[in-house]
Amino acid sequence: MEVTEATVDLDQPGKMLLRLCKHFEHKVSVTYSETKAHMEFIIGSCDAEVIGNALHFICRSNEKNENQEIQNVIERHLVRFARKEDINFGWRVVSGNTE
């Protein structure tokens, strides 16, 4: 299993979390509150949590390429929703294949 994480500084992390969740719940299984979320994709999952002025993401999948796909989906949507912000994900591998 590949596990990656990233912390993204945002002006309104709670608002962005809710926006992501409301968008994704039309396509995948999502459970969320104002500060935490769990998104279940066919190829893996991603948890998100508001921590201060940031959103912290932890993505899990069986394969590295699947994990990267989840990361790309999260990134594309967050960049679009927070288009006026300079967003840097800086994903890092927590466990799994580091190649």
Q: Which domains does the chain have, with CATH numbers?
A: 2-95 (3.30.310.50)
Task: Indicate the range of 30-34, 39-43, 83-87 predicted with least confidence.
Answer: 83-87
Average pLDDT of span 4-11: 95
Average pLDDT of span 2-26: 95
Q: Could you give the strand order of the β-sheet that contains 54-61, starting from the edge strand earlier in sequence?
A: 29-32, 36-41, 44-51, 54-61, 2-9, 92-95
The answer, yes or no, to whether residue 78 has pLDDT greater than 80, is yes
Looking at residue 27, what DSSP letter applies?
T
